Structure 1
Amino acid sequence: MTERPDPAPLCEYDPDPETPVSVAVLEAVAAARGLDSTELLPTYGYTLFDRVDPGALDSLVADRDAVDFAVEFELYGSRVRIEGANRILVYEAD
């Protein structure tokens, strides 16, 4: 079985190192959807906290240069992929 390649992301986001990743994820998804991050709740009817623990997400990437890793989850009709500490990719959800 071969894996299919990822389609082009809707958004590639390089967060400011001072911005918590939970906030950067909201900014990246909002940008991909053509929204302001404050419009996500009224548009989709739930918050990041309803799907992912923001504190755990922030802790995962707290030491942004320490580890090479990737984590993926679905949020607001998007598949979010955090690669290391300095890259967030947003794709259309499968």
Structure 2
Amino acid sequence: MKKVVSYYREVRSAEIPTAFARRNKWIKVFEILCYLFIGLKEQEEIYKAMEEEGQDAIAVIPEDTIRATLRENSPTLSSYLFRTSPLSLHGADKRPKIIVPLL
């Protein structure tokens, strides 16, 4: 399984024209908007697939789960998020609970 690497890269840049004489600069602005719209649609598809996986509508390989990825890349965060609840200690529920702290 691959390690998750996060980085930033500039994919487009544009100057927003404020004068009529520079109206040809709007093309680059609209290119950025199109790029962002396509990225948004891709993210919506990924989110929909994740929802279906979470509801067990789609089978997921255990090594490809978020839990496995977190355990591999960030053991400290994983142990904090996926610690077991008191119910699971008594055998009422065998599955670990995700505990999200309220700030």
Relative to the length of structure 2, the TM-score reads 0.22
Instruction: Point out the structure with the larger strand share.
Output: 1
Larger relative contact order, structure 1 or 2 (CA cutoff 8 Å, min sep 6): 1
Structure ID, larger Rg: 2
